[in-house]
Homo-oligomer: A and B are copies of this chain.
Amino acid sequence: MGITLRYFLGVKPSKASLLLPFLLTFVLVGSQGESNAMDNVATERMAEESHRQDSANLLIFIMLLTLTILTIWLFKHRRFRFLHETGLAMIYGLLVGVILRFGVHVPQSMSDLILSCAVNASPATLLVNVSGRFYEYTLKGEVSRSKGHQVPDDEMLRKVTFDPEVFFNILLPPIIFHAGYSLKRRHFFRNIGSILAYAFVGTVISCFIIGLIMYGFVSFMKVVGQLQGDFYFTDCLFFGAIVSATDPVTVLAIFNELKVDVDLYALLFGESVLNDAVAIVLSSSIVAYQPAGDNSHSFEAMAMLKSFGIFLGVFSGSFALGVATGVMTALVTKFTKLRDFPLLETALFFLMSWSTFLLAEACGFTGVVAVLFCGITQAHYTYNNLSPESQDRTKQLFELLNFLAENFIFSYMGLTLFSFQSHVFNPLFIIGAFVAVFLGRAANIYPLSFLLNLGRKNKIGSNFQHVMMFAGLRGAMTFALSIRDTATYARQMMFSTTLLIVFFTVWICGGGTMPMLSFMSIPVGVDSDQENSSSAVLDGSQRRNTKHESAWPFRIWYNFDHNYLKPLLTHSGPPLTATLPACCGPLARCLTSPQAYENEGQLHDDDSDFILNDANVSSMYADVTVSTDASGSRTINRKHSSTTSTGGGPADEGLDHELALAEHEVSIRGTRLVLPMDDPVEPPTTVTLPPPPSPPRSDPRRHRL
């Protein structure tokens, strides 16, 4: 045992390389114990030098992002669609990686000194006594043995590598929260069963299929002699868990721009959002049970059951936590008049959402999962309580954070291909991985779709299945999971392979989505509301189908949500005094907001995004036109619904529309909803539909279907 000291004077520490603003200047001491003053000066100079280098490194990334933004604009401006912005960011990252790797020669100015003494452990903090002054060192992690002698390479690596935890703790939360916050809840909940099946069952299937196929390949490679290190079965499973998660970022962007069928969109997006969470929990469960006392890395039934238990516990815990903070925020915004101060409101919203992540991590749950469900809860309840300005502010804030984080991740991915030092590109493993990923995806989509179609009224067509198969892009989450640990040979090989899979799927599958859609004759540019309205207007029986689409557990949940949760947590919904039993009268009066009484008559289109029912299907499509382009510019034109106007006076109607607008704005955000051209702008005269039954105002049974 010995201590090896090395001088890296003039080389900034790797963690700090990208995180200048998050990190402090590391103090380098060069002079060897002369006067205090001289020491101080030298220390300060070096600290300054390192600080400057950190700034310069971060600047590279900022410039990269700026360049990406300008090019994205150019692409959008010229309506060039074959390369998506994330693919673009990756290309720029690649170019900078090549330049840094081959173009920049770092001067070899550091002196290398090796000292040794007896140490028998590596503590977290080290105090070094130099001439009576103590210097504190913190443990950075293990360095792979082979790198001990590759100082110049190591130096390159330090320049542009930052810690993978940054992905999990800074970059992913805003992306995932945004996904939850901007989720199209109506279509999402209509397909919730299928989405859960694909995301949970499908991802687990895919993980095991990929794991098994990879184990076969690895065993073959061992026989052939192509494997230079250990690769256990649990490593294979871990690889399966990593690459099974599809990416919501790219799917969202491409399908949103193409205005593809809403159900297909909901299935793909819902699956990809939820399976990120599944992949995180799955991979950490595999890691957790993997070395349970034995070194065998073999697969055991008991261990697997334990792993499954961990999975369920962590997932439900994170879910509960995310929903809990969302509900808390809703209560706070409902019962304080914070909406008079949009800045305070926005700040509170932001802090509460962030605290979900921290709370989950502090409790040992998964922050990302918690943040996702927190986002959904915030959108469903809290959003209704916010002032209009805060609604805009929060949406725009998370949109911006999401955009920056997303592009940062993709350009960093490009950069890593050349800047990462420990790449292990094994052609056989790579081929195996591509085959496995393909088969794993197929084993997820086709069998599940078959089973789901047995129960679905609205079948998932084979062309939809092919598109879902094709559009299973791998992205940020896969990358983040694989870069988290690159210490061993197996993990390095996984990382390199994963990087290639991400590049391939984003460029080839992402770019090929549009030709694929037209080849599969799936209509592009479809309008979700147009579709609904025509079916509702032309065919009364189809409305019943829509209703029956929703499974009974969700109908029960919908009623509960509409009658109790919404009125309790927001200003919308029927007053609690009408829905709660008479014995709870005083409590109900105390919890119901004054606005709720005003809404009482017009509730039928307020919740329409959630589950379709007879009473509101005809009124939900006509009152708002939102056109959104991918960059988020939004034009909203309200039109007076021709059917809702039968329900109440003009003042109530205004409020009603306001609420409906707020709901719709969240729920249909990200698609282009345009009214059919023949929609009557003038009130009822031209409408041939019978008006929906308008029951007495205080009849609560109407809301219970």
Contact = CB atoms under 8 A, between A and B. Distances in A.
Contact of A134 (B4, B70, B344): B4
Q: How many copies does the complex hold?
A: 2
A299 interface: no
A624 interface: no
A128 B126 contact: yes
A13 interface: yes
Given A142-B135, A354-B62, A355-B63, A121 B29 contact: yes
B163 A134 contact: no
B137 A41 contact: no
A113 to B, nearest CB: 7
Contacts of A137: 126, 137-140
Given A361-B52, A396-B396, A633 B121 contact: no
Given A4-B128, A347-B403, A76 B341 contact: yes
A33 B165 CA distance: 26
A633 B342 CA distance: 6
Contacts of A105: none
Interface in A92-143: 113, 115-143
B4 A15 contact: no
Interface string A41-83: 1011010101111011011001101100110111011000000
A293 B4 CA distance: 33
A457 to B, nearest CB: 38
Contacts of A531: none
A22 interface: yes
Given A1-B131, A132-B145, A66 B352 contact: yes
A110 to B, nearest CB: 9
B55 A362 contact: yes
Interface stretch (A330-338, A496-504, A644-652, A686-694): A330-338
Interface in A19-55: 19-30, 32-33, 35-38, 40-41, 43-44, 46, 48, 50-53, 55
A354 B113 CA distance: 38
B343 A633 contact: yes
Contact of A125 (B13, B70, B130): B13
Nearest to A16: B138
Contacts of A125: 6-8, 11, 13
A137 B361 CA distance: 25
Contact of A139 (B123, B135, B169): B135
Size category of the binding interface on chain A: 35 or more
B70 A336 contact: yes
A113 B125 CA distance: 11
A455 B122 CA distance: 69
Contacts of A140: 26-27, 135-138
A6 B32 CA distance: 23
A389 B119 contact: no
A126 B132 CA distance: 18
A141 B136 contact: yes
Contacts of A15: 23-24, 138
Contacts of A354: 62
B142 A3 contact: no
A70 B336 CA distance: 8
B134 A73 contact: no
A295 interface: yes
A407 to B, nearest CB: 8
Given A126-B3, A128-B119, A134-B148, A400 B362 contact: no
A679 interface: no
B127 A120 contact: no
A427 interface: no
A59 B362 contact: yes
A33 B351 contact: no
Contacts of A44: 287
Contacts of A116: 117, 129
B127 A5 contact: yes
A225 interface: no
The 8 closest A-B pairs by CB, nearest first: A117-B117, A22-B22, A24-B163, A341-B631, A21-B169, A137-B137, A55-B362, A24-B165
Given A29-B123, A133-B142, 12 more contacts: A3-B117, A4-B128, A13-B125, A19-B22, A55-B367, A62-B355, A69-B348, A117-B117, A135-B143, A343-B399, A343-B631, A347-B403
11 contacts: A25-B165, A32-B120, A56-B358, A59-B355, A73-B344, A119-B130, A133-B145, A135-B139, A138-B138, A341-B633, A387-B633
